[in-house]
């Protein structure tokens, strides 16, 4: 069983590098120990160009590392293989490198370039793995390289790489804490990430690097709440713990209104009288001091957190359940905390280590909120097979839960425990009985009788423990218990446990007037055995002697002097001191005497009865579930759980200005399929948005009201959204093509959700962004109203601009924009429909058709790319007007531009091959298009109400291009103008919305 | 978070160490050994130990200690949960989580540990993803590997990690598509009110909350879908009863031991796999018993009596009778030992729970579906 020799042996093994590696443990089978090779052999194997030999060598080396043996002298041979093609060799080399790079910094630098190359790899997994290893090499000289790599990876388009970047942040921070400021920037950036993959890891980085920067969380708070359920379990724990702290700084205590709601039935049920009294003093005081305070209303964000974490009580992970439980304990109104009890009780069926931790926390909770666990009393009953440490914790909980009504049951259970073979547990049970007796007056006598019976127990430990507890109980009402004291006095002959002997002596001394005959006799016996006693008993003998001397000096004077003389020469200085002190105090002397006159008062003053308290009392000043709580001591890196603020900080800090672009995020699209499956409450960034996207989700509608109460800002957000939508309709198309493209794509994504409410768009949102405004041609009444409202909204749109741009980069890789293919028939009808519908607006006054007239720049589609067209680029737009020649035709604007350096001549439509019913009215031939010049022509197409493509040829003098125009459904509709009221009527008729 | 991990066997050998940050010397385990000595009993080693510079959080699984080294504040359950996940993974990969299995597969173990934590923070812990990254060993594969020198590391880059449903690898394809449900119920001796459920992360909470339907994308392979806790105030039918008579005579070196087991409310099903385990008091030296069926063993060192009963036939109830030899001169035990009973009832879910129907969406094929019910004894203790 001795561990030390084995350990020494191991250490010996690792001490001498290069010594032959013999498996010193014959039990370690396998291929690795059977043929431990000398390091030289390994080096040789690594130098060959056979992958199988390299692999075998690496496996041997890794096995050595696993056993804690030193393999550092192989570093040069191993590091050479860092670029090996074989993936397993490479992996094992990485393992080796991370383990030894710190010791061999110069050589480790040789491998860096391999990883730098890996960072640029087109495969995201290779990029991630390169960053992972690079950041794990603890070599200070590469800090700048790591910093750069992390920064780049943080904006990688792969969420997996971004996750790896988040993991790398704490690594770099621990290597060089001077990088903190730069790292915080990266953290800030990654916190804004909306993918579940990144969320947990970046919060972890936040907690390790800058947990004090709570301000970074504001903008991401709602998103984190909404994402939480889809984050992996480990991330959930970290996020919940951080949000608990956040909530404590940002919201008001939900318990402060409880005193106002005294009649609350829930409360009557849960809060027993102690609960009330023991409630956090600060809170009560705060309420008392501010009676005029407006009634407490929970911040909707506070509610959001509680609501979104609650389902996680059903997680399979004990750590997540505990995290939610502590969140509820620290943040929820009293009436709601109860829900966690059931989940915690469920965890008691888990592994014993889990039980151990959970019971510690339940013990703390059950002191504050006893009512919560009362229904589960029986779940804490103890099995004889439970480990002792679990038994003792359960006992603690049972004791905390005992009250007037259930004590008989609890005590009956305790009786069973007292007969247990596990003596530590029996001792703890006796203590527990003592606590029940002190806390619940009604059962005190029953308990005392039970304990007295235990005094005749055969086991000395049981007796001793009982004595100690009885002593404490007797202090409460000594007068009635002379008999018990006598009984105890007799025990001094037999009982040897020092603590018990000391307790009996103290009791006899303290209540010597109740046992006047026995007390001197006890002292006599003790004086005899004084020298053989334990220190703690000796001190009590002195104490007893002093007290008897003061009350009954006639009988005990000599005995006392004898005891004091013995004590004077004791080996222990405490005892010598005590003897000297006592003698001065009780024996009147000529000089002083001032004190000895009061000696009786000093020794026999009535003493308050001890309070038997749980060791878990007030442990909840540590955040529950934390290591610090478990140890009841502050662990390194523990973040204090702040007290609730007196006044709530500004809630509007959590409003998010740019809810729009989250919609376009990568993940949104990627997840499109599973998202509706797993998250009902969609919107990530802000409440307003989630309300739009999912009307049936209760959380969304709720949080909508939150943002409204918060500030006006959020409502303007939605305006700016509308505003963007409107842009296309009224603006002149001088904007660059690119921008148009971008906007289009944005709309595509947005509209499916906006469809339902698009009709309500207000007039004042009918504005457009700065660039197009100045180029307006038509001035209408509307537009004169507009500038004012536009200015009002400048800040949000101004802010949104750069962000939107950044995101559009991501969009590009998600949506292959139509411009890439010359022929791009929109395949998904719904999206194309959306593109069409966005242009339709409603106003009270019918718009003059001329206003719409040349609508260019909206939905520009590419007909012919300039590369394919050898310099000729052709776009087309649907102008949304009836074609002047033929009312059945749709007018299509064709934009030609010549980007070559020679003029293009004789542009015309060649012989069309058209499906049945489709006809084309060609545009007049364009004779010449000079380099750099653009020209627009109008042609009419009758699509015959189908979405079939019209295929035709575009001919120049020298070339022919086959092109095709496929109309989105919406473009086949004829525009109709109607007032809003008319529209609503129509809508109702068709049962829309 | 998690700094290092040491695996220690029952005789106190550290047979594997893994560091995710700087190396922590093995000597830190001395604090653990100290605590272990103090605890006397393996299951009483405190799971959390504080040392001057580190904290040690450990679990005890399958006769092994998994001791992790922590340097800063971290929820202890986070670490404990993770360590159990590691042990589960070993079990999953090697069929058992034993010192021999770990030593035999030390490289795979190392690779697994490397993937499971990055800088001490969990990275890939789902078995589906891990199996894509690192193939579990099979006899065939190890033969092939030793001949061809190929590896256990997946040569295709895994995609599961990139998915939002980390528990299911992408592109699962089989010739037979089957979905089996094992409903395993365990009866604890003390059963109380109200049901309670915990879920695999694949289950969609909202759907459960609103419709009480379990809707999920299943992981590939075996997994625990839900755990539930059912009970009712009116005592749930306890399927067995035990008649017992255990007595020790004062001042004599022997005692009597007599137990009989019978079926009760078994709903027409056979109760099988019955095992009775009794932790006898320390003063018991040996036992001389006669079982009417099955076989019994008594370990004089641990004082554990195990009686493997098998099936109950109502015509002839199984019993175990005989004498107990006590250490002479020692006082008789004050308490009779509790009996721990294990049993199994096939084709019965004692709570009445049923898998009502299984619908599958989004795939064209129809899987074979099967449901099996088993009721088992959980922590079933009879006080005597």
Residue A189 has pLDDT above 90, yes or no: yes
With bands split at pLDDT 50, 70 and 90, how would you rate the model's confidence at A965?
confident
Q: Extract the tokens encoding A708.
A: 């409204």
Which residues of chain A does B22 touch, with a Cβ-Cβ cutoff of 8 Å?
A: 102, 138
B-interface mutation test, from A1, A2, A3, most B Cβ less than 10 A away: A3
Query: Collapsing DSSP states into helix, strand and coil, what is residue A909?
Result: strand
Answer yes or no: do A204 and B22 touch at CB < 8 A.
Answer: no
CB-CB under 8 Å, A67 with B16: yes
- Rounded to the nearest angstrom, the minimum Cα separation between B316 and chain A is 30
Helices H / strands E in chain B, number of each: 7, 20
Distance in angstroms (rounded) separating the CA atoms of residues A716 and A711: 10
In this prediction, residue B170 carries a pLDDT of 62
Q: What angle do CA B107, B111, B115 make, to 5 degrees?
A: 170
Spacing of C-alpha A138 from chain mean position:
28
Q: How many whole angstroms separate alpha carbon A512 and alpha carbon A527?
A: 17
Burial class (CB in 10 A: 0-12, 13-18, 19+), A128: buried
pLDDT exceeds cutoff 50 at A107:
yes
Q: Is the pLDDT of residue A615 over 50?
A: yes
Answer whether residue A131 shows pLDDT above 90. Answer: yes
- What DSSP designation does A192 have? T
* CB count in 10 Å sphere of residue A362: 31
pLDDT recorded at residue B185: 66
Chain A residue numbers touching B229 (CB-CB < 8 A): 346, 349
Query: Which pLDDT value is given to residue A871?
Result: 79
Amino acid A567: pLDDT: 92
Average pLDDT, chain A: 73
Q: What is the pTM of this model?
A: 0.64
Q: What's the pLDDT at A404?
A: 85
B99:A379 CB<8 A: no
According to the model, what pLDDT value does residue A188 have? 94
pLDDT for A730 beyond 80: no
Q: Which residues of B touch A208 (CB under 8 A)?
A: 72
pLDDT of residue B87: 94
Which chain A positions have a beta carbon within 8 Å of B103's beta carbon?
Answer: 27-30, 33
Query: Looking at the predicted structure, is the pLDDT value of residue B195 above 70?
Result: no
Determine the distance in angstroms separating the CA of A329 from the nearest CA of chain B, rounded to an integer.
Answer: 16
Name residues whose C-beta falls within 8 Å of residue B57's C-beta, 6 or more positions apart in sequence.
B47, B48, B49, B67, B68, B70, B76, B79, B80, B83
Q: What are phi and psi of A85, to 5 degrees?
A: -75, -35
Name the residue in chain A with its Cα closest to that of B209.
Answer: A311
Contacts 24+ apart (CB under 8 A), B230-237: B230/B185, B230/B195, B230/B351, B230/B353, B231/B191, B231/B192, B231/B193, B231/B194, B231/B195, B232/B191, B232/B193, B233/B192, B233/B193, B235/B191, B236/B187, B236/B191, B236/B350, B236/B351, B237/B264, B237/B265, B237/B267, B237/B350
- Cα of A628 to nearest chain B Cα, Å: 7
Token readout for A42 is: 């390994």
Split at pLDDT 50, 70, 90, the class of A926 is confident
Q: Percent of chain A, pLDDT > 70?
A: 69
CA of A55 vs chain B CAs: smallest distance (Å): 8
Contact criterion met (CB < 8 Å) for A67 and B165: no
The crossing angle, in degrees rounded to 10, of helices A444-454 and A423-439 is: 150
Position A444 pLDDT exceeds 70: yes
Question: Which of B72, B75, B161 has its CB closest to that of A636?
Answer: B72
A566 near A530, Cβ under 8 Å? Answer: yes
Token code pair at residue A228: 């939480």
Q: How confident is the model at residue B190 (pLDDT cuts 50, 70, 90)?
A: very low
CA of B296 vs chain A CAs: smallest distance (Å):
20
Using a CB-CB cut-off of 8 Å, the residues of chain B touching A339 are none
Exposure of B120 by Cβ count < 10 A (0-12 exposed, 13-18 middle, 19+ buried)?
buried
Backbone angles phi, psi at A386, to 5 degrees: -65, 145
- Interface contact A62, partner B, CB < 8 A: yes
Q: Between A175 and A866, where is the model more confident?
A: A175
Contacts of B224 in chain A (CB under 8 A): 316
Is residue A603 within 8 Å of A551, Cβ to Cβ?
no
Q: Tell me the C-alpha distance between B12 and A4, whole Å.
A: 8
Q: B299: buried, middle or exposed (CB in 10 Å: 19+, 13-18, 0-12)?
A: exposed
Is residue B12 scored above 80 in pLDDT? Answer: yes
Q: What is the pLDDT of residue B291?
A: 87
Cβ contact, residue pair A357, B22, below 8 Å: no
In chain B, what residues touch A354 (CB-CB under 8 Å)? Answer: 77, 80-81
Asked if the ipTM is above 0.95, the reply is: no
pLDDT category of residue A330 using cuts at 50, 70 and 90: very high
* Closest residue in A to B206 (Cα–Cα): A680
Count of CB contacts below 8 A, A vs B? 293
- Judged by a CB distance cut-off of 8 A, whether residue A356 touches chain B is yes
Residue pair A145/A130 in contact by the 8 Å Cβ criterion: no
User: How near does any CA of chain A get to the CA of B315, in Å?
Assistant: 32
* CA-based nearest residue to A667, from A223, A238, A317: A223
- Is it the case that residue A264 has pLDDT exceeding 50? no
- CA dihedral over A288, A289, A294, A299, signed as positive or negative: negative
Restricting to A residues 568-587, those with a Cβ less than 8 Å away from any Cβ of B are none
* Residue range B47-67: mean pLDDT, rounded: 93
Q: Is B316 exposed, middle or buried (0-12, 13-18, 19+ CB in 10 A)?
A: exposed
Tokens of A760: 């309500």
**Which whole number is the average pLDDT over A478-497?**
79
Q: Given this model, what pLDDT does residue B164 score?
A: 58
Taking the mean position of all CA atoms in its chain, how far away is CA A74?
42
Provide the shortest C-alpha distance from residue A31 to chain B (in Å): 7
Q: In whole angstroms, give the CA distance from residue B113 to residue B123.
A: 10
Quick check: B58 pLDDT over 70?
yes
| Partner-chain contact A387 B18, CB within 8 Å | no
How do residues A354-392 score in pLDDT, each as one tens digit? 999 999 999 999 988 888 998 888 889 888 888 999 999
Q: What pLDDT, on the 0 to 100 scale, is given for residue A18?
A: 39
DSSP summary character for residue A925:
P
CB A208 within 8 A of CB A638: no
For residue A53, the chain B residues in CB contact (below 8 A) are 149
For the cut 80, the answer to whether the pLDDT of residue A236 exceeds it is: yes
Q: Does position A214 have pLDDT exceeding 50, yes or no?
A: yes
| A736: pLDDT strictly greater than 50 | no
Q: Which of B11, B73, B204 sits opposite A638 (nearest CB)?
A: B73
DSSP one-letter code for A621: G
Read off the pLDDT band of A294 (50, 70, 90). low
- Spell out a b/e string for A418-444, using b for 16 or more CB atoms within 10 Å of the CB, else e: bbbbbeebbbbbbbbbbbbbbbbeebb
Query: Judged by CB atoms within 8 Å, which residues 325-344 of A form the interface with B?
Result: 342-343
CA distances from A811 to A153, A157, A602, A828 (A): 18, 10, 85, 17
Helical spans, DSSP H, in A599-755: 599-603, 627-631, 666-670, 675-678, 687-693, 698-710, 713-730, 737-754
3-state helix, strand, coil in chain B (%, to 5): 20, 35, 45
Residue A665 Cα distances to A155, A670, A685, A809, B163, angstroms: 13, 9, 11, 10, 16
**CB-based contact A421 B224, cutoff 8 Å:** no
Within 8 A of A33 by CB-CB distance, chain B residues are 103
Q: What is the DSSP string of B168-183?
A: S-SS---SS-EEEEEE
pLDDT at B151: 52
What pLDDT, on the 0 to 100 scale, is given for residue A750? 45
Provide, as residue numbers in chain A, all residues whose Cβ is less than 8 Å from the Cβ of B54.
none
Cβ–Cβ contact A292 with B under 8 A: no
Using CB atoms, pick whichever of B80, B155, B215 lies closest to residue A354. Answer: B80
Choice among A700-709, A970-979, B207-216 with the minimum mean pLDDT: A700-709
Here the tokens at position A985 are 């009527």
B195 CB neighbours in chain A (<8 A) are none
| Residue partners of A456: CB distance under 8 A and separation at least 6 | A463
Please enumerate in sequence order all residues whose Cβ is within 8 A of that of B252, keeping only pairs 6 or more positions apart, or say none: B326
User: Among the listed ranges A134-138, A540-544, B178-182, which one has the minimum average pLDDT value?
Assistant: B178-182
User: Which chain B positions have a beta carbon within 8 Å of A351's beta carbon?
Assistant: 59, 61, 80, 84
pLDDT at B266: 58
Position A688 pLDDT exceeds 90: no
Whole-number pLDDT of residue A537: 92
**Element at A961 (helix H, strand E):** strand A960-965
Interface of A with B in 230-269 (CB under 8 A): 230, 232-234, 237, 241
pLDDT tops 50 at residue A270: no
User: Which residues in chain A have their CB less than 8 angstroms from residue B201's CB?
Assistant: 232-233, 315-316
pLDDT for the residue numbered A562: 92
Exposure class string for B137-174: b at 16+ Cβ within 10 A, else e: beeeeeeebeeebbbbbeeeebebbbbbbbbbbeeeee
Determine the pLDDT at residue A554.
85
Mean pLDDT, rounded, for A337-346: 90
Give the residue among B384, B36, B373 at the shortest CA–CA distance from B186. B373
Kindly indicate the confidence band of residue B65, based on its pLDDT and cuts at 50, 70 and 90.
Answer: very high
Residue A831 has pLDDT above 60, yes or no: no
CB contact under 8 A, B205 and A322: no
A419 CB neighbours in chain B (<8 A) are 334-335
A763 or A365, greater pLDDT: A365
How far are the Cα atoms of A860, B187, B236, B359, B370 from residue B356, in angstroms, in the given order? 54, 22, 22, 10, 12
Highest mean pLDDT of the ranges A709-713, A911-915, B244-248: B244-248
- CB–CB contact A635 B122 (8 Å): no
- Distance (Å) from the C-alpha of residue A712 to the closest C-alpha of chain B? 31
A711: left (phi over 0), alpha (psi -120 to 50) or beta: beta
- Residue A349 sits at the chain B interface (C-beta within 8 Å): yes
Segment A510-520 mean pLDDT:
85
pLDDT of res. A694: 41
A280 pLDDT tier (thresholds 50, 70, 90): very low
Q: What's the pLDDT score for residue A552?
A: 83
What is the number of other CB atoms lying within 10 angstroms of the CB of residue A881?
17
Q: Where are the alpha helices (DSSP H) in A294-387?
A: 300-309, 318-331, 334-337, 339-347, 352-368, 370-373
Q: pLDDT for B269-315, tens place per residue?
A: 788 888 888 888 888 888 888 888 888 888 888 888 899 888 887 77
Q: Of A317, A626, A678, which is closest to B73 when you measure between CB atoms?
A: A626
pLDDT of residue A306: 94
**Contact at CB, A639 and B73, closer than 8 angstroms:** yes
Region of residue B268 (left: phi > 0; alpha: psi -120 to 50; beta: else): left
Is 70 exceeded by the pLDDT of residue A580? yes
Average pLDDT, chain B: 79
Task: Give the per-residue pLDDT at A16.
Answer: 38
- Asked if B224 lies within 8 A of A311 by C-beta distance, the reply is no
- In total, chain A counts a number of residues equal to 993
Q: Cα distance from B364 to chain A (closest Cα, Å)? A: 17
pLDDT(A920) > 60: yes
Distance set, CA A817 to CA A665, A744, A746, A825, A949 (Å): 16, 10, 11, 12, 19
């Amino acid at each position: 069983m001795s561990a030390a020799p084995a350990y020494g042996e191991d250490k010996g093994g690792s001490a001498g590098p290069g010594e032959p590696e013999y498996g010193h443990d014959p039990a370690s089978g396998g291929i690795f120990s059977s043929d431990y090779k000398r390091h030289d052999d390994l080096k040789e194997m690594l130098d060959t160009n056979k992958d199988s030999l390299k692999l075998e060598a690496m496996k041997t080396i890794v096995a050595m590392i696993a056993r804690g043996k030193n393999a550092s002298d192989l570093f040069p041979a191993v590091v050479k293989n860092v670029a090996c093609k074989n993936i397993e060799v490479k992996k094992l080399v990485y393992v080796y490198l991370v383990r030894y790079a710190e010791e061999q910094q110069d050589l480790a630098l040789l491998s860096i370039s391999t990883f730098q190359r890996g960072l640029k790899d087109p495969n995201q997994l290779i990029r991630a793995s390169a960053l992972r290893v690079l950041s794990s090499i603890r070599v200070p000289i590469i800090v700048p390289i790591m910093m750069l790599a992390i920064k780049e990876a943080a904006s990688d388009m792969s969420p997996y790489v971004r996750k790896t970047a988040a993991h790398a942040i704490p690594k770099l921070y621990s290597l060089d804490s001077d990088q903190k400021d730069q790292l915080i920037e990266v953290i800030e950036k990654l916190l804004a990430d909306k993918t579940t993959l990144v969320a947990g890891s970046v919060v972890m980085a936040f907690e390790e690097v800058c947990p004090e920067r709570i301000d970074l969380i504001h903008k991401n708070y709602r998103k984190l709440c909404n994402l939480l359920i889809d984050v992996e379990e480990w991330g959930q724990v970290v996020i919940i713990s951080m949000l608990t702290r956040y909530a404590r700084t940002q919201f008001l205590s939900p318990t402060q209104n409880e005193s106002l709601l005294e009649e609350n039935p829930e409360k009557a049920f849960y809060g027993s009288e102690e609960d009330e009294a023991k409630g956090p003093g600060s809170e009560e005081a705060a309420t008392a001091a501010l009676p005029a305070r407006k009634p407490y209303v929970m911040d909707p964000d506070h509610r959001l957190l509680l609501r979104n974490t609650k389902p996680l009580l059903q997680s399979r992970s004990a750590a997540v359940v505990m995290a939610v439980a502590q969140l509820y304990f620290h943040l929820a109104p009293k009436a709601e905390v109860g829900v966690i009890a059931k989940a915690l009780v469920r965890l008691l069926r888990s592994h014993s280590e889990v039980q151990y931790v959970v019971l510690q926390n339940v013990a703390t909770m059950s002191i504050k909120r006893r009512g919560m666990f009362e229904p589960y009393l029986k779940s804490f009953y103890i099995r004889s097979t439970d480990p002792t440490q679990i038994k003792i914790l359960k006992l603690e909980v049972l004791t905390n839960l005992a009250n007037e009504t259930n004590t008989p049951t609890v005590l009956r259970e305790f009786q069973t425990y007292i007969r247990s073979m596990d003596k530590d547990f029996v001792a703890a049970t006796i203590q527990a009985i003592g606590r029940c007796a002190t806390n619940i007056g009604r059962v005190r006598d029953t308990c005392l009788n039970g304990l007295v019976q235990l005094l005749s127990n055969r086991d000395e430990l049981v007796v001793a423990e009982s004595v100690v507890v009885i002593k404490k109980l007797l202090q409460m009402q000594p007068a009635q218990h002379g008999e018990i004291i006598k009984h105890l006095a007799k025990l001094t002959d037999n009982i040897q446990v020092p603590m018990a002997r000391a307790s009996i002596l103290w009791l006899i001394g303290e209540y010597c007037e109740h046992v006047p005959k026995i007390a001197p006799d006890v002292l006599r016996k003790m004086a005899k055995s004084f020298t053989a006693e334990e220190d703690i008993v000796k001190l009590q003998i002195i104490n007893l002697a002093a007290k008897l001397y003061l009350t009954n000096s006639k009988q005990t004077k000599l005995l006392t002097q004898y005891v004091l003389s013995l004590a004077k020469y004791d080996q222990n200085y405490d005892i010598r001191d005590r003897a000297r002190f006592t003698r001065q105090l009780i024996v009147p002397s000529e000089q002083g005497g001032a004190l000895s006159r009061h000696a009786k008062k000093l020794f026999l003053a009535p003493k308050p009865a001890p309070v038997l308290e749980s060791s878990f009392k007030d442990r909840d000043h540590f955040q529950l579930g934390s290591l610090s709580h478990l140890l009841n001591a502050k662990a390194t890196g523990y973040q204090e759980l702040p007290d609730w603020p007196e006044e709530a900080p500004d809630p509007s800090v959590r409003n998010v200005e740019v809810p729009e672009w989250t919609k376009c995020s990568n993940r949104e699209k990627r997840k499109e399929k599973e998202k509706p499956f797993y998250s009902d409450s969609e919107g990530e960034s802000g409440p307003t948005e989630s309300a739009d996207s999912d009307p049936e989700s209760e959380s969304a509608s709720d949080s909508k009201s939150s943002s409204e109460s918060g500030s006006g800002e959020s409502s303007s957000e939605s305006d700016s959204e509308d505003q963007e939508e409107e842009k296309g309709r009224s603006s002149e198309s001088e904007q660059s093509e690119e921008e148009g493209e971008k906007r289009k794509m944005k709309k595509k994504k947005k509209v499916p959700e906006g469809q339902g409410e698009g009709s309500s768009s207000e007039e004042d949102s009918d504005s457009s962004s700065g660039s197009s405004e100045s180029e307006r041609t038509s001035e209408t009444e509307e537009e004169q109203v507009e500038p004012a409202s536009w200015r009002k909204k400048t800040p949000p749109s101004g802010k949104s601009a750069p962000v939107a741009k950044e995101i559009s980069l991501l969009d590009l890789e998600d949506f292959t924009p139509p411009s890439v293919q010359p022929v791009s028939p929109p395949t998904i009808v719904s999206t194309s429909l959306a593109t069409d519908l966005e242009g339709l607006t409603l106003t009270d006054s019918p718009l003059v058709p001329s206003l719409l007239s040349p609508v260019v720049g909206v939905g520009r589609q590419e007909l012919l790319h300039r590369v394919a067209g050898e310099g000729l680029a052709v776009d087309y737009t649907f102008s949304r007007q009836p074609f002047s020649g033929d009312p059945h035709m749709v007018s299509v604007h064709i934009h030609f531009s010549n980007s070559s350096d020679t003029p293009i001549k004789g542009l015309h439509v060649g012989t069309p091959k058209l499906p049945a019913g489709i006809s084309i009215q060609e545009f007049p031939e364009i004779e010449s298009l000079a380099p750099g010049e653009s020209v627009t022509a109008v042609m009419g197409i009758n699509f015959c109400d189908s979405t079939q493509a019209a295929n035709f040829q575009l001919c120049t003098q020298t070339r022919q291009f086959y092109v095709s125009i496929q109309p989105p459904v919406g473009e086949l509709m004829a525009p109709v103008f109607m007032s809003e009221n008319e529209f609503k009527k129509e809508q109702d008729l068709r049962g829309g919305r | 978070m998690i700094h290092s991990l040491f695996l220690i066997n029952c005789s106190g050998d550290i047979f594997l160490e893994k560091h995710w940050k700087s190396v922590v010397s093995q000597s830190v385990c001395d604090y653990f050994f100290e605590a272990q000595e103090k605890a006397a009993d393996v299951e009483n080693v405190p799971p959390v130990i504080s040392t001057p510079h580190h904290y040690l959080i450990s679990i005890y699984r399958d006769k092994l200690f998994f001791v992790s080294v922590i340097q800063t504040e971290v929820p202890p359950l986070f670490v404990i949960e993770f360590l159990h996940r590691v042990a589960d993974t070993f079990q999953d990969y090697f069929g058992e989580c034993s010192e021999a299995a770990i030593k035999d597969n030390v490289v795979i173990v190392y690779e697994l540990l490397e993937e499971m934590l990055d800088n001490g923070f969990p990275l890939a812990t789902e078995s589906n993803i891990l199996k894509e990254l690192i193939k579990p060993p099979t006899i065939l594969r190890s033969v092939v590997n030793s001949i061809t020198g190929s590896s256990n590391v997946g040569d295709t880059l895994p995609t599961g990690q990139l998915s939002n449903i980390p528990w299911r690898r992408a592109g699962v394809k089989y010739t037979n598509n089957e979905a089996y449900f094992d409903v395993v119920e365990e009866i604890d001796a003390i059963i109380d009110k109200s049901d309670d459920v915990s879920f695999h992360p694949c289950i969609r909470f909202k759907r459960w909350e609103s419709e009480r339907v379990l809707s999920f994308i299943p992981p590939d392979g075996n997994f625990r879908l839900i755990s539930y806790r059912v009970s009712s105030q009116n005592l749930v039918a306890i399927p067995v009863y035990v008649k017992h008579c255990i007595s020790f005579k004062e001042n004599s070196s022997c005692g009597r031991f007599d137990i009989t087991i019978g079926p009760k409310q078994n709903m027409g099903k056979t109760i099988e796999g019955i095992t009775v385990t009794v932790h006898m008091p320390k003063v018991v030296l040996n036992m001389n018993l006669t079982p009417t069926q099955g076989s019994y063993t008594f370990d004089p060192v641990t004082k554990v009596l195990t009686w493997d009963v098998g099936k109950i036939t109502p015509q002839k109830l199984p019993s175990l009778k005989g004498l107990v030899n006590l250490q002479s001169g020692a006082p008789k035990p004050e308490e009779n030992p509790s009996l721990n009973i294990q049993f199994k009832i096939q084709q019965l879910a004692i709570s009445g729970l049923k898998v009502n129907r299984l619908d599958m969406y989004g795939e064209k094929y129809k899987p074979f579906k099967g449901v099996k019910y088993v009721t088992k004894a959980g922590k079933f203790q009879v006080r005597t």
